[in-house]
Structure 1
Amino acid sequence: MSSENFRQLKPFFSILLIISTLFAIVFLQMEERRMGYSVLKLTREHKKVSEEKRVKEIALAKITRPQLLDHMAQQKFTLKKIQANQIIHLSGVVEAPVNKVAKKDL
């Protein structure tokens, strides 16, 4: 390639470089916009799931509150409230009292 041929092609290469740069800029802007929409969609979905979780936690707390469980046990299953003499205390091994004999008693 001679220097004369290269000079003739210089304007073509510069225009090609400018056009490719503009295409790259447009492509990057489109990708940025697309990613922004993806992030927006995921953010909305996250908020929706968080709200559903909060609602379910509140429903669980309402269902398992002690007063409701006690009421259901008495109404549905006809259970009665416990009385003091019905409570059985389970503790560790109970040792029988050992009669300690002193040496001088022998």
Structure 2
Amino acid sequence: MNSNSFKQLKPFLSILVIIFTLFSIVFLQMEERRMGYSVLKLTREHKKVWEEKRVKEIALAKVTRPQLLDSVAQQKFTLKKVQANQIIHLGGPVSTNMDPVVKNVAKKDL
């Protein structure tokens, strides 16, 4: 190729570079917009799942509250509330005539 033919191709090549650059810019803007929409969709989905989780936690807290469990135990399983004379105390008073080693063990257990 001689320099004369290269000079004739210069305008054509510069127009190709400009067109390629403009197409690249348009493509990148379209990709940016598409990614923005996917991020928006994921953000909405995340909020929806988080709200469902919160609603389920509230429902669980309502179901497992002590008053409801007491009423279910009394109605379905015919359980009755504990009275003071039904409580069994397993630890008793420490005797004074015990061996000193046994006293130390008994004090630690209390």
Question: Which bracket does the TM-score occupy, shorter chain normalised?
Answer: 0.7 to 0.9
In structure 1, what is the Cα distance between the partners aligned to 2:69 and 2:5? Answer: 93
Matched ranges for 1:23-102 at <5 A = 23-90=23-90, 97-98=97-98
In structure 2, what is the Cα distance between the partners aligned to 1:62 and 1:44? Answer: 27
Secondary structure class of the residue paired with 2:82: coil
In structure 1, what is the Cα distance between the partners aligned to 2:74 and 2:64? Answer: 15
Using structure 1 for the length normalisation, give the TM-score.
Answer: 0.84
Quick one: structure 1 residues 72 and 9, their matched pair in 2 at CA, closer, same or farther if it must change by over 3 Å?
A: same
Query: Superposition RMSD on alpha carbons, in Å?
Result: 1.9
Unmatched 5+ residue regions in structure 2?
101-110
Moved over 6 A (4+): none
Give the residue type in structure 2 aligned to 1:33: R
Unmatched 5+ residue regions in structure 1?
101-106
Higher helix content, 1 or 2? 2
Using structure 2 for the length normalisation, give the TM-score.
Answer: 0.81
Secondary structure class of the residue paired with 2:78: coil
Q: Which residue number corresponds to residue 9 of structure 2? A: 9
Aligned residues: 98
Secondary structure class of the residue paired with 1:78: coil
